[in-house]
């Protein structure tokens, strides 16, 4: 999960740079989002496998809902950003990636046993 969080933070910084420069998100940004999404999909698969074989006291429904939610947030933000090709669209991408970072941190807490 640490690599996923690091990649999401790098993506968030790249989007913040675009916002400061007042530039719309371009192909390099969407490639970075695609790579981040692939890593999130891999995390989903690994998380499901680990959940099925763990002895930890983890709320399965809560954990899986966060795993699925973090996978969905970036495509939703990307499609919204593509519909609004302005600084506002880039800000939506930033919000989506920020949400992914927050969900990742919550996943860590759930896996660690923090629960609801």
More confident residue, 87 or 42: 42
Give how far Cα 56 sits from Cα of 2, 48, 50, Å.
19, 13, 10
Q: What is the pLDDT of residue 1?
A: 66
| CA–CA gap between residue 114 and residue 116 (Å, rounded) | 7
Query: For the segment 34-73, what is each residue's pLDDT rounded down to a tens digit?
Result: 999 999 999 999 999 988 888 877 888 999 999 999 999 9
Band of residue 74 on the pLDDT scale cut at 50, 70, 90: very high
| For range 61-88, the mean pLDDT | 91
Residue 24 has phi, psi (to 5 degrees) of -75, 160
């Amino acid at each position: 999960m640490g690599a996923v969080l690091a990649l999401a933070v790098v993506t968030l910084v790249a989007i913040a740079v675009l916002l400061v420069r007042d530039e719309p998100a371009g192909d390099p940004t969407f490639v970075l989002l695609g790579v981040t999404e692939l890593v999130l999909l891999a995390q989903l698969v690994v998380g499901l496998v680990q959940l099925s074989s763990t002895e930890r006291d983890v709320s399965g429904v809560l954990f899986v809902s966060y795993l699925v939610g973090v996978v969905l947030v970036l495509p939703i933000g990307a499609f919204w950003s593509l519909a609004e090709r302005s600084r506002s669209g880039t800000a939506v991408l930033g919000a989506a990636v920020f949400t992914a970072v927050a969900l990742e941190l919550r996943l860590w807490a759930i896996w660690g046993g923090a629960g609801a």
